[in-house]
Structure 1
Amino acid sequence: MAFTTGFTLQDWQRHYRQHPQEVLSTLEALLADLSTDDNAWLYLATPAQLRAQVEPLLAAWQQDPASLPLFGVPFAVKDNIDIAGWPTSAACPAFTYVAESDAVAVANLKGAGAIVLGKTNLDQYATGLVGTRSPFGAVCNTFNPEYVSGGSSSGSASVTARGLVCFALGTDTAGSGRVPAGFNNIIGLKPTKGWLSATGVVPACRLNDTISIFALTVEDAFLTASCAAGYDGLDAYSRVNPGLAPAALPATPRFAIPSSPEFFGDTRAQAAWEAACAALIAGGATLQPIDFTPFSQLAEQLYYGPWVAERTVAVGEMLTRPDEMDPVVYGIVASGNNYSAVDAYKAEYLRAELTRQIQQTLSQFDALVVPTSPTIHTLEEMKQEPVQYNSQFGTYTNFTNLADLSALALPAPFRTDGLPAGITLIAPAWYDRALATFGIRWQQQQALSLGATGNALPAAGSLPASPLHVRVAVVGAHLTGMPLNHQLTRRHAVLVEETQTAACYRLYALANTIPAKPGLAKDNSGAAIIVELWDIPLARFGEFVAEIPAPLGIGTLELADGRSVKGFICEPAALADATDITEFGGWRRWLTREEHPHV
């Protein structure tokens, strides 16, 4: 076993800082330790392919390490995603071709310095949530080989859970980036559709596909997704983040949960879910049961309606060669021929109606929390009921992409039989970062070991700075609980912290303002003033500024720790008849001065 087993991004970065000349030798040793006898792997890099990736990066990293945040970090790629010069099979030998170029997401990761070690097994054509529908064999659960790993991204989840790579790419149409994460005690980030390009991905359902990320920590998953992402003009379904979503979930979030969750008689899964709910409440969350009917109805549409015809389109001429396909996959995909264009339009109308109901429900909460899967089955059990049990696994996942939602699968309290049982957070599109902020707190609260490695969870890291949010310092009527705070909260601004300005400001109570407001002015003889920092979505910042009346405005403030942020400033002319209240150190202290006479 390689000494790098279970390394997180922090571990890899630390290793290369301490041993900058050992990049190639470290990865060569890791590669030599892997084997295609492990059926999670379908293809491993040759030594030459490894060197070809590493050598061009060395000079750039030596000049500017910050330009390559994933420098030398090994990752795996599901074998329905292209890597230039490598075979792509989608777990169908007869379909296999050699890719001419990297998938855009892979190219972006390589551009950040990451190194592909190999390609991984999957349910054929990414059709399944089980990990057993592959001619290369079923990928076993990393905790108990008698059980399924989950699919379709089975190999990617397995090699991540065992710590063979730092992260891995999967795909997610119906839950393939989440169910395997739940079954293997790892993170499964299902990005908003269109955040990561689908160019170079063998489609399953183009309208609903997205590349997904497996990792051992939430921080690693989100940084990986951020590096892989980017608008792609060649992908008709690529999108630009509109900058409307919150930067984080509140410290005490309000979550929706299914009112009568279904576990198909699996009492261990139910007990694990109840333990997770108790842990959520202990962590400060409020749980509100909701009617789950629209979610369930939409979930059923993905396989039991005309939407399956998308898979028929994707597989194309291979349907004329059924003897070269997995029989269960063939049966599912071929069923798409049974639907007409009229059926498809009716299905789209129903999808839109159910999606509107779902989005209206979610608008009342910070997120929805569900069991990642309601149950798990052994490999032998899957042979008896391959379709029914697969369908059960998708109970809490199938609707997500149809409703254009983001999702994050997280490790949660284990079942009493020693198998993992995860939870998944689901929220509107572009809430990816907000979900990750909660996921970090949750993972630290649970303190479970990483995947199947037995390694302890490291101290919490941080997410990369967000270019889609503006940090604003508020000093008066916009503070928490004050009359104008709603101008922030209704725009999904999130409180970051209370802090102080540098000691070069004076605070004034302005005359004749309703509601009462302070003015902040820079002054060399000033003092540190208490402020709150809020992150407001970039696209809502202009609206917020437009509501600020004279003599106030937004400028740049210096904080006590040296940071510079946007914040409230005041026109000097308005200070002539204002009351200097600097000695109180903050607006709230001034308002409550009679309660604190010695301040």
Structure 2
Amino acid sequence: MHELQPPHFGWTINEWRTAYQTGQLTPDVLLSLAESYPQTDTAWIARASQAQLSEQLKALAERLESHNSDISQLPLYGVPFAIKDNIDAAGWPTTAACPEFAYTASEDATALARLRAAGAILMGKTNLDQFATGLVGTRSPYGAVPNSFNPDYVSGGSSSGSASVVARGLVAFSLGTDTAGSGRVPAGFNNIVGLKPTKGRLPNTGLVPACKTVDCISVFALTVADAQMVAGLAEGFDAADAYSRHNPGTAPVGFSAGLKLAVPDTLEFFGDSQNQAVFEQALHRLSDMGAEITRIDFTPFKALAEQLYYGPWVAERTAALSAMLDTRPGAINPVVRGIVESGLAYSACDAYRAEYLRATLSRQINEALAAFDALVVPTSATLRTQAEMAEEPVLYNSQFGFYTNFTNLADLSALAVPAGIRADGLPSGITFIAAAWHDTALARFGQRWQESLRLPLGATGRAMPAPTASLPVAPRGSVRVAVVGAHLTGMPLNRQLTQRDAVLVEQSLTAGDYRLYALPGTVPPKPGLVKSTSGAAIIVELWDIPLARFGEFVAEIPAPLGIGNLTLKDGRSVKGFICEPWAIEDALDITAFGGWRAYIASLQNA
């Protein structure tokens, strides 16, 4: 574990922001932070020089001035971060952990540019398994990256350095990549969060490809909240990336009230009883949190996972490195070269057959998961020492990917989170996996999971921050709607929300200037909510409905009701049911009941 010296080692994004907003620190502190990094640390390939940092700090000051010196307009103002060295940063070499491959990037990768625009400061580029080929963190000429808890063990890869610098608190977050699990396995091995977004959510412009059709830029952070915040700032369509996608806005932004999780019917730990114990304990905790856990057939998941390295799909890596194989094959790590050269054995017909199989298995997997909020798996079945990895570099790498390799091929989203500390003091994690674009739902539950567990942050020994309150606004990709009557939980029209994957957020109150009426002749009975010069606070429920489903919902609302803007007691404005004034002329004023449920109960008790 890194010996913490500066008080800001291991800070979350919010702690950095608070320090700047209160004047406790200025961004110049990053100059001394960079000097405190150990020079022999193999997690780094390149560190920001004092000149590079000064240039970034000057640009940050200009950004702040353009926002009228309002730090709140720069959500990552002065927050230190790192990127994996297969991601371009203007003026920096990109090596992909191969010195002979290196080139100096002329532009920032799109995701990086968006984070810099939000105020983040790049502290360096991190080590990786060469050309992002491996889940181990040892296949680099810049040295193996040790586990942040015990240096005898591997860090996991390929995003080894990005995970390590976050786990030890050297930066607040980092970017990695994930093709076969590289954004999740190192998170599990280092007690941090690894967010693997839906393919195309974060653009790959400026990323050295491993498998271009399935590569994802991923995020490492100490907390789920930080990872989700960073992903939200880096995401968005980029026409320069042929695989970038628009979020269709149809996915739920939270898990269902009756939490349903799937688990593989047969679990494999390759003899690692300590990882098994942590996973079984995690399942007990999930049950205690109200989850209904169901075993499902893992056969199609396993079959698809095998395609990534043990079938024609490996030829995509061959295509990505064809120039290096033709001109400088000796510059490639022997294990990596062996994997990549194996793709030469397959024909175009083999590749098409592999794609047909991928599509079939992917369909089976997505259909199997449709009835559940998520699949929960061990992030890795096992953990190995560096000495063991040297003896069996391919076999043990394959074991690390047992629960990860299928994810991108099946177009799924995933979130790796800490799950516990093993008897030997090493961390172990679990991963929640769901359909494409369920990223926000995963993050909301992942935050709840992490806050319930309250493990120390990474390898810093620092305690988890205090739990955050309910989201003040609807997450991106959703609309927050206040319902007051027949759409409340358990009421006759509530299905119009649940069938559209809406998620209950909280019960709240309107501002004190509303009146509630029982509308005559409505079936089922409905109330009308009207703003008035005098009134009372009325009980409402707040639901987040997927943005693309909102129009369907509104289309079912009959006159005299409609959707307008409704003010809550705490001052928030949300969409909500309103009633045309003419409809209340013959209606019964039920404001005194304070809500629809109380009025309905009075009728039943009469």
- Relative to the length of structure 2, the TM-score reads 0.96
Return the match for 2:334 from 327, 335, 352.
327
The alignment status of 1:370 with 2:374, answered yes or no, reads no
Return the match for 1:541 from 544, 547, 550.
550
Q: Which residue of 1 aligns with 2:14?
A: 10
- 1:424-477 CA distance string (max 9 Å, x none): 011111111111111111111111000000001111246675242111111111
Measured after TM superposition, the shift of residue 21 of structure 1 is 6.6
Measured after TM superposition, the shift of residue 288 of structure 1 is 1.1
- Is the Cα–Cα contact under 8 Å of residues 197 and 414 in structure 2 kept in the other structure? yes
Measured after TM superposition, the shift of residue 20 of structure 1 is 6.8
Quick one: structure 1 residues 132 and 420, their matched pair in 2 at CA, closer, same or farther if it must change by over 3 Å? same
- Is the Cα–Cα contact under 8 Å of residues 563 and 578 in structure 2 kept in the other structure? yes
Measured after TM superposition, the shift of residue 551 of structure 1 is 1.5
Q: Which residue of 2 aligns with 1:272?
A: 278
The whole-number CA distance in structure 2 between the counterparts of 1:252 and 1:166 is 34
Residue type at the aligned position of 1:368: L
The whole-number CA distance in structure 2 between the counterparts of 1:500 and 1:596 is 25
The whole-number CA distance in structure 1 between the counterparts of 2:95 and 2:148 is 24
Measured after TM superposition, the shift of residue 36 of structure 1 is 3.9
The whole-number CA distance in structure 2 between the counterparts of 1:22 and 1:468 is 34
Q: Which residue of 1 aligns with 2:508?
A: 499
Q: Which residue of 1 aligns with 2:266?
A: 260
Q: Which residue of 2 aligns with 1:61?
A: 64
Return the match for 1:33 from 32, 36, 47.
36
Measured after TM superposition, the shift of residue 595 of structure 1 is 6.0
The whole-number CA distance in structure 2 between the counterparts of 1:510 and 1:3 is 61
In the TM superposition, what are the counterparts of 1:541-580 in structure 2 within 5 Å? 541-580=550-589
For the aligned residues, what is the CA RMSD? 1.4
Q: Which residue of 2 aligns with 1:76?
A: 82
The whole-number CA distance in structure 2 between the counterparts of 1:15 and 1:420 is 30
Residue type at the aligned position of 1:432: D
- Is the Cα–Cα contact under 8 Å of residues 186 and 411 in structure 1 kept in the other structure? yes
Residue type at the aligned position of 2:568: L
Q: Which residue of 2 aligns with 1:195?
A: 201
Q: Which residue of 1 aligns with 2:399?
A: 392
- 1:580-599 CA distance string (max 9 Å, x none): 222211111111115667xx
Q: Where do 5+ consecutive residues of structure 2 fail to align? A: none
The whole-number CA distance in structure 1 between the counterparts of 2:461 and 2:190 is 12
Measured after TM superposition, the shift of residue 323 of structure 1 is 1.7
Q: Which residue of 2 aligns with 1:294?
A: 300
Partner SS state of residue 554, structure 1: strand
The whole-number CA distance in structure 2 between the counterparts of 1:53 and 1:230 is 24
In the TM superposition, what are the counterparts of 1:236-251 in structure 2 within 5 Å? 236-250=242-256
The alignment status of 1:116 with 2:119, answered yes or no, reads no
Partner SS state of residue 458, structure 1: coil
In the TM superposition, what are the counterparts of 1:194-593 in structure 2 within 5 Å? 194-250=200-256, 252-320=258-326, 321-461=328-468, 466-593=475-602
- 1:538-581 CA distance string (max 9 Å, x none): 11110000011112111111212222111111222222332222
The alignment status of 1:45 with 2:48, answered yes or no, reads yes
The whole-number CA distance in structure 1 between the counterparts of 2:175 and 2:513 is 49
- Is the Cα–Cα contact under 8 Å of residues 251 and 284 in structure 1 kept in the other structure? no
Measured after TM superposition, the shift of residue 19 of structure 1 is 2.9
Identity of aligned residues (%): 64
Partner SS state of residue 52, structure 2: helix
The whole-number CA distance in structure 2 between the counterparts of 1:313 and 1:567 is 53
- Is the Cα–Cα contact under 8 Å of residues 474 and 544 in structure 2 kept in the other structure? no
Measured after TM superposition, the shift of residue 251 of structure 1 is 5.1
The whole-number CA distance in structure 1 between the counterparts of 2:137 and 2:184 is 13
The alignment status of 1:19 with 2:28, answered yes or no, reads no
Q: How many residues align?
A: 596
- Relative to the length of structure 1, the TM-score reads 0.97
Partner SS state of residue 303, structure 1: helix
The whole-number CA distance in structure 1 between the counterparts of 2:124 and 2:35 is 12
Measured after TM superposition, the shift of residue 513 of structure 1 is 1.7
Measured after TM superposition, the shift of residue 373 of structure 1 is 0.4
The whole-number CA distance in structure 2 between the counterparts of 1:237 and 1:484 is 40
- 1:196-224 CA distance string (max 9 Å, x none): 11011100000000111000011111111
Quick one: structure 1 residues 318 and 212, their matched pair in 2 at CA, closer, same or farther if it must change by over 3 Å? same
- Is the Cα–Cα contact under 8 Å of residues 111 and 202 in structure 2 kept in the other structure? yes
Residue type at the aligned position of 2:308: L
- Is the Cα–Cα contact under 8 Å of residues 185 and 452 in structure 1 kept in the other structure? yes
Segments of 4+ in structure 1 off by > 6 A?
none
- Is the Cα–Cα contact under 8 Å of residues 36 and 42 in structure 1 kept in the other structure? no
- Is the Cα–Cα contact under 8 Å of residues 19 and 25 in structure 2 kept in the other structure? no
- 1:22-73 CA distance string (max 9 Å, x none): 312x101111111441111111111111111111211432522122110111
- Is the Cα–Cα contact under 8 Å of residues 36 and 43 in structure 1 kept in the other structure? no
The whole-number CA distance in structure 1 between the counterparts of 2:94 and 2:141 is 14
The whole-number CA distance in structure 2 between the counterparts of 1:527 and 1:271 is 54
In the TM superposition, what are the counterparts of 1:84-123 in structure 2 within 5 Å? 84-123=90-129
